């Protein structure tokens, strides 16, 4: 079973303005991925970075819904924190933001696929780093896995 790591911007996609076609499509892709997680076709992992980022969301309803979603479907997994910290520091030195570096470092250790709606992050990771994990946006993941 593939293990996937969805970053917080992917979880938040349904709360974004749905007027743009791309955002609506990514939202539908996210829900499709969630459905497959619920049916045990994939396992999803949560890191402490998820929880910290979600705690910082000012919209109370969004924050509470996201926390409940993480608690309902996903079990947190933590491994060698020192290796993760070291990798996050390295990614930060390459110019990734603190949260992005931490998400990627956890994803590399915990998962097979990293999923994000952040084009700049995905492009930078694929271009500037010796990628240790497949990094895709939700639409690419749904397409590559032929999810229905």
Model confidence pLDDT, tens digit, residues 7-46: 999 999 999 999 999 999 999 999 999 999 999 999 999 8
Distance CA 133, CA 121 (A): 14
Model confidence pLDDT, tens digit, residues 48-60: 899 899 999 999 9
Tell me the pTM: 0.92
CATH top-level class for 2-145?
alpha beta
Would you place residue 117 in the very low, low, confident or very high pLDDT band (cuts 50, 70, 90)?
very high
Model confidence pLDDT, tens digit, residues 97-114: 999 999 999 999 889 999
Q: Give the chain's mean pLDDT.
A: 92
């Amino acid at each position: 079973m593939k293990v996937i790591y969805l970053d917080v911007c992917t979880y938040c996609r349904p709360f974004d303005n749905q007027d743009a076609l791309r955002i609506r499509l990514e939202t539908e892709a996210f829900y499709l991925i969630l459905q497959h997680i619920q049916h045990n076709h994939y396992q999803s992992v949560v890191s402490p970075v998820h929880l910290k980022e979600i705690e910082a969301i000012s919209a109370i309803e969004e924050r509470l819904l996201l926390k409940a979603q993480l608690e309902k479907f996903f079990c947190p997994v933590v491994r060698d924190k020192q290796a993760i910290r070291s990798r996050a520091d390295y990614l930060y030195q390459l110019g990734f933001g603190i949260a992005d570096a931490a998400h990627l470092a956890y994803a590399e250790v915990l998962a097979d696929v990293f999923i994000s709606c952040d084009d700049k992050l995905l492009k930078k990771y694929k271009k500037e780093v010796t990628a240790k994990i497949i990094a895709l946006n939700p639409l690419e993941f749904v397409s590559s896995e032929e999810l229905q």
